[in-house]
Amino acid sequence: LSALFLMMNTIQKIWADGADNSTSLIEWAKQQFGCIIEVVKKNKIAQGFHVLPRRWVVERTFAWLGRYRRLNRDYERKPTSSEGHVYLASVRLMLRRIHKERLLLEDNLLQAT
Protein backbone atom coordinates (compact mmCIF):
# COMPACT_ATOMS: atom_id res chain seq x y z
CA LEU A 1 0.00 0.00 0.00
CA SER A 2 2.90 2.36 0.71
CA ALA A 3 4.27 1.91 -2.82
CA LEU A 4 0.82 2.66 -4.24
CA PHE A 5 0.63 5.96 -2.38
CA LEU A 6 4.14 6.91 -3.48
CA MET A 7 3.15 6.44 -7.12
CA MET A 8 -0.34 7.93 -6.83
CA ASN A 9 -0.28 10.49 -4.06
CA THR A 10 -3.63 12.03 -5.01
CA ILE A 11 -5.66 9.02 -3.82
CA GLN A 12 -8.20 10.16 -1.25
CA LYS A 13 -10.53 7.17 -0.93
CA ILE A 14 -10.19 3.41 -1.40
CA TRP A 15 -13.15 1.04 -1.56
CA ALA A 16 -12.40 -2.34 -0.04
CA ASP A 17 -14.23 -5.65 0.00
CA GLY A 18 -16.04 -6.71 3.17
CA ALA A 19 -13.27 -9.23 3.86
CA ASP A 20 -10.79 -6.36 4.36
CA ASN A 21 -12.52 -5.08 7.48
CA SER A 22 -9.36 -4.52 9.53
CA THR A 23 -9.65 -1.42 11.71
CA SER A 24 -5.87 -1.32 12.13
CA LEU A 25 -5.41 -1.06 8.33
CA ILE A 26 -8.08 1.64 8.08
CA GLU A 27 -6.47 3.69 10.87
CA TRP A 28 -2.96 3.16 9.49
CA ALA A 29 -3.94 4.43 6.03
CA LYS A 30 -5.66 7.44 7.58
CA GLN A 31 -2.63 8.34 9.73
CA GLN A 32 0.05 7.65 7.11
CA PHE A 33 -1.59 9.13 4.03
CA GLY A 34 -4.78 10.90 5.09
CA CYS A 35 -6.68 8.38 2.98
CA ILE A 36 -10.11 6.96 3.78
CA ILE A 37 -10.70 3.24 3.31
CA GLU A 38 -14.41 2.55 2.94
CA VAL A 39 -15.41 -1.09 3.42
CA VAL A 40 -18.37 -2.11 1.25
CA LYS A 41 -20.38 -4.60 3.28
CA LYS A 42 -23.18 -6.93 2.30
CA ASN A 43 -26.62 -6.30 3.70
CA LYS A 44 -27.21 -8.97 6.37
CA ILE A 45 -30.99 -8.86 5.97
CA ALA A 46 -31.22 -9.14 2.17
CA GLN A 47 -31.07 -12.61 0.65
CA GLY A 48 -30.02 -13.50 -2.88
CA PHE A 49 -28.36 -11.15 -5.32
CA HIS A 50 -28.27 -7.42 -4.73
CA VAL A 51 -25.96 -4.70 -6.04
CA LEU A 52 -23.42 -3.33 -3.58
CA PRO A 53 -22.38 0.32 -3.85
CA ARG A 54 -19.24 0.88 -5.97
CA ARG A 55 -18.73 -2.90 -6.28
CA TRP A 56 -19.76 -2.72 -9.94
CA VAL A 57 -16.66 -0.64 -10.71
CA VAL A 58 -14.37 -3.41 -9.50
CA GLU A 59 -16.38 -6.15 -11.23
CA ARG A 60 -16.44 -4.19 -14.50
CA THR A 61 -12.66 -3.74 -14.38
CA PHE A 62 -12.11 -7.46 -13.74
CA ALA A 63 -14.42 -8.24 -16.68
CA TRP A 64 -12.46 -5.93 -18.99
CA LEU A 65 -9.15 -7.46 -17.91
CA GLY A 66 -10.56 -10.99 -18.19
CA ARG A 67 -11.13 -10.48 -21.92
CA TYR A 68 -7.39 -10.86 -22.47
CA ARG A 69 -6.29 -14.45 -22.99
CA ARG A 70 -3.20 -14.19 -20.78
CA LEU A 71 -5.32 -12.92 -17.88
CA ASN A 72 -8.41 -15.12 -18.08
CA ARG A 73 -6.36 -18.03 -16.71
CA ASP A 74 -3.17 -17.97 -14.69
CA TYR A 75 -0.67 -19.21 -17.28
CA GLU A 76 2.32 -17.48 -15.71
CA ARG A 77 4.76 -19.07 -13.27
CA LYS A 78 5.87 -15.85 -11.62
CA PRO A 79 3.56 -13.26 -10.05
CA THR A 80 5.62 -10.48 -11.65
CA SER A 81 4.75 -11.86 -15.10
CA SER A 82 1.05 -11.82 -14.25
CA GLU A 83 1.40 -8.28 -12.92
CA GLY A 84 3.10 -7.23 -16.15
CA HIS A 85 0.22 -8.60 -18.21
CA VAL A 86 -2.27 -6.69 -16.05
CA TYR A 87 -0.30 -3.49 -16.79
CA LEU A 88 -0.23 -4.27 -20.52
CA ALA A 89 -3.96 -4.92 -20.61
CA SER A 90 -4.61 -1.70 -18.67
CA VAL A 91 -2.46 0.31 -21.08
CA ARG A 92 -4.35 -1.17 -24.01
CA LEU A 93 -7.70 -0.29 -22.43
CA MET A 94 -6.59 3.29 -21.81
CA LEU A 95 -5.19 3.68 -25.35
CA ARG A 96 -8.47 2.48 -26.82
CA ARG A 97 -10.38 4.95 -24.65
CA ILE A 98 -8.08 7.85 -25.62
CA HIS A 99 -8.23 6.94 -29.31
CA LYS A 100 -12.04 6.72 -29.20
CA GLU A 101 -12.27 10.16 -27.56
CA ARG A 102 -9.88 11.58 -30.16
CA LEU A 103 -11.99 10.19 -33.01
CA LEU A 104 -15.14 11.68 -31.47
CA LEU A 105 -13.43 15.05 -31.09
CA GLU A 106 -12.25 15.00 -34.72
CA ASP A 107 -15.77 14.05 -35.83
CA ASN A 108 -17.25 16.99 -33.93
CA LEU A 109 -14.67 19.38 -35.39
CA LEU A 110 -15.41 18.20 -38.94
CA GLN A 111 -19.15 18.62 -38.42
CA ALA A 112 -18.67 22.13 -37.01
CA THR A 113 -16.83 23.34 -40.14
Query: For the chain, what are the domain ranges?
Result: 1-47, 54-113
The residue that leads in pLDDT, 69 or 52, is: 69
Q: What is the pLDDT of residues 61-103, one digit of tens each?
A: 888 888 888 887 778 888 888 888 899 999 988 888 888 777 6
CA distances from 73 to 13, 70, 76, 77 (A): 30, 6, 9, 12
pTM for this entry: 0.52
Q: How confident is the model at residue 20 (pLDDT cuts 50, 70, 90)?
A: low
Confidence (pLDDT) at 110: 66
Contact between 38 and 14 under an 8 Å Cβ cutoff? The reply is yes
Confidence (pLDDT) at 19: 62
Contact between 62 and 45 under an 8 Å Cβ cutoff? The reply is no
Asked if residue 105 has pLDDT above 60, the reply is yes
Beta-carbon contacts of residue 72 (< 8 Å; ≥ 6 apart): 66
